């Protein structure tokens, strides 16, 4: 039986960090205690057993989670993560952050997050499908296009979303494409979804560098993580004129001070399962990429990558968080002292939830837009969001994270106050 993974160090308690950020923002905004109390609690926490028959005939029981933080501004929205380190603390923290992420880009969603404590790399596609279908069956009453809309995350993909949609639809007796986003195009997915988070990251990066008067051709970019988000960010950053000089994945890292050929690197990683050993780069230790001299460091893997232990050695001039929660509070304080701006996750990687919203809208009206239209709409949303956050940051002398949190939490608090409490 797979019991929930426990975290050992206080610094890696993401929920504690999320609650602290909320408390500090509430104090800056001068919000009433009753608003804070409701924002600090979760609407619903679901923990389920996920029994599944393995290919060898044995039964294994995994633990599945779905946490819904807020529905003040609309139905909940958030990814489904399959990873052996998934636990309730992490899922709760990410659900809360997802509420702020939707609000900062002014999308009518609340936040949710879910996952199963399994390792998809050790599972066959058949095992993965059986786990997904059983997990979805356990959640049929709490998800839905008007309630809570899952999406892909670490360890899940469009096919997993297809299984979830099909399982939910079979239980309802009719096709419900709007129950998930990130689906294949053939069953109601949206054009532009696969690169959405990376495209949003590059848009925000360009906006941030321009606002700080640092934008120039050939800036050196280092990316930690070469999964769905890291690959798209690297490719689109290179296309935008940035020089991606190093990337890492779970197995290793590669660097080239003259710039990596991202198209060749993607093909190499696809064939070999890692960027390590790339013939046009120099191998280095996986975590060493975080400490390389560069103009922009983009953590695009899991949370807690930048900590009090390594923040002093970081040589980047700007950090853009493509991952969720990659910077601990202690590291953030060190970066502030060193005058290294951090573009926070709830703004930088909101391209994914934005295009998920577009997909949901298209599913509900059964009318789909072109990829060009979607890119244009994404650019408009992300540009507006960055402008709103940057203005607050400059006006109130706040960090970009503080400004983004204040904007988002203020919007959710306003909705909560307007709606009141029933009964």
CA 110 – CA 269 distance, rounded (Å): 36
pLDDT at position 382, please?
A: 98
Q: Is 113 noted as a catalytic residue in this protein?
A: yes
Residue 83: is its pLDDT beyond 60?
yes
Residue 310: is its pLDDT beyond 80?
yes
pLDDT at position 12, please?
A: 57
Residue 303's pLDDT band (cuts 50, 70, 90):
confident
pLDDT at position 357, please?
A: 98
Phi, psi of 4 (to 5 degrees): -55, 135
Q: Which domains does the chain have, with CATH numbers?
A: 10-21+43-187 (3.40.50.10860), 196-348 (3.40.50.720)
Contact indicator for 320, 343 with CB cutoff of 8 Å: yes
With the C-alpha atoms ordered 342, 12, 233, 279, is the resulting torsion angle positive or negative?
positive
pTM: 0.93
Q: Which whole-number Å values give the CA distances from 286 to 9, 159, 250, 266, in the listed order?
A: 22, 29, 7, 17
User: What value does the mean pLDDT of the chain take?
Assistant: 95
Residue 274: is its pLDDT beyond 90?
yes
Q: Please confirm whether the linkage preceding 239 is cis (ω < 30° from 0).
A: no
Q: Which whole-number Å values give the CA distances from 49 to 3, 86, 117, 163, in the listed order?
A: 10, 14, 11, 18
Q: Which two tokens stand for residue 208?
A: 């941030």
Residue 287: is its pLDDT beyond 90?
yes
Residue 345: is its pLDDT beyond 60?
yes
Residue 4: is its pLDDT beyond 50?
no
CA 124 – CA 86 distance, rounded (Å): 19
pLDDT at position 7, please?
A: 39
pLDDT tens-digit map of 213-266? 999 989 999 999 999 899 999 999 999 999 999 999 999 999 999 999 999 999
Q: How many CB atoms lie within 10 A of CB 175?
A: 14
239: DSSP letter: H
Q: Which whole-number Å values give the CA distances from 91 to 13, 16, 28, 51, 69, in the listed order?
A: 11, 12, 26, 20, 10
Contact indicator for 216, 241 with CB cutoff of 8 Å: no
pLDDT at position 416, please?
A: 97
Q: How many CB atoms lie within 10 A of CB 287?
A: 12
pLDDT at position 11, please?
A: 47
pLDDT at position 406, please?
A: 98
pLDDT at position 302, please?
A: 81
Contact indicator for 251, 276 with CB cutoff of 8 Å: yes
Q: Which two tokens stand for residue 150?
A: 């899952």
Q: Which whole-number Å values give the CA distances from 238 to 72, 220, 241, 261, in the listed order?
A: 39, 10, 5, 8
Residue 66: is its pLDDT beyond 50?
yes
pLDDT tens-digit map of 389-406? 999 999 999 999 999 999
Which range, 47-51, 192-196, 302-306, has the best average confidence (pLDDT)? Answer: 47-51
Mean pLDDT over 9-19 rounds to 73
Residue 373: is its pLDDT beyond 90?
yes
- What percent of the chain lies above the pLDDT cut of 70? 97
Q: Which whole-number Å values give the CA distances from 243 to 258, 282, 295, 351, in the listed order?
A: 7, 16, 10, 22
Q: Which two tokens stand for residue 11?
A: 């610094």
pLDDT at position 6, please?
A: 37
Write down the catalytic residue from 101, 113, 220, 317: 113
pLDDT tens-digit map of 113-162? 999 999 999 999 999 999 999 999 999 999 999 999 999 998 999 999 99
pLDDT at position 75, please?
A: 98
């Amino acid at each position: 039986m797979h019991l929930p993974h426990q975290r050992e160090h206080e610094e890696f308690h993401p929920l504690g960090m999320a609650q602290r950020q909320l408390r500090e923002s509430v104090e800056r905004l001068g919000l009433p205690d009753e608003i804070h109390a409701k924002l600090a609690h979760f609407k619903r926490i679901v923990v389920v057993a996920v029994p599944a028959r393995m290919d060898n005939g044995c039964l294994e029981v995994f633990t599945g989670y779905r946490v819904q933080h807020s529905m003040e501004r609309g139905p909940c929205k958030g990814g489904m993560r399959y990873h052996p380190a998934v636990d309730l603390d992490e899922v709760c923290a990410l659900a809360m952050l997802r509420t702020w992420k939707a609000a900062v880009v002014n999308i009518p969603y609340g936040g949710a997050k879910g996952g199963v404590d399994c390792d998809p790399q050790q599972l066959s596609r058949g095992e993965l499908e059986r786990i997904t279908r059983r997990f979805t069956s356990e959640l049929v009453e709490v998800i839905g296009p008007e309630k809570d809309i899952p999406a892909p995350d670490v360890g899940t993909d469009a096919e997993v979303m297809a299984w979830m949609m099909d399982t939910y639809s079979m239980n309802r007796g009719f096709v419900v494409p709007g129950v998930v986003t990130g689906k294949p195009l053939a069953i109601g997915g949206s054009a532009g979804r696969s690169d959405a988070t990376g495209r949003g990251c590059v848009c925000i990066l360009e906006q941030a560098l321009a606002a700080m008067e640092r934008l120039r051709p050939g800036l050196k970019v280092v990316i930690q993580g070469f999964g769905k988000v890291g690959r798209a960010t690297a490719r689109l950053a290179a296309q935008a004129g940035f020089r991606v000089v190093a990337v890492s994945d779970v197995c290793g890292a590669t660097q080239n001070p003259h710039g990596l050929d991202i198209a060749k690197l993607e093909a190499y990683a696809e064939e070999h399962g890692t960027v390590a050993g790339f013939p046009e780069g120099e191998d280095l230790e996986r975590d060493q990429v975080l400490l390389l001299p560069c103009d922009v460091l983009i953590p695009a893997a899991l949370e807690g990558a930048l900590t009090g232990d390594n923040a002093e050695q970081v040589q980047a001039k700007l950090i853009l968080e493509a991952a969720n929660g990659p910077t601990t509070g202690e590291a953030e304080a060190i970066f502030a002292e060193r005058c290294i701006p951090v573009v926070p996750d709830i703004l930088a990687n909101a391209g994914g939830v934005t295009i998920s919203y577009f997909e949901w809208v298209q599913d509900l009206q059964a009318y789909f837009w072109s990829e060009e239209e979607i890119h244009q709409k994404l650019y408009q949303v992300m540009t507006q969001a960055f402008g709103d956050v940057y203005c607050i940051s400059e006006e109130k002398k706040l960090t970009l994270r503080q400004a983004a949190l204040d904007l988002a939490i203020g919007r959710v608090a306003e909705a909560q106050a307007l709606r009141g409490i029933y009964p």
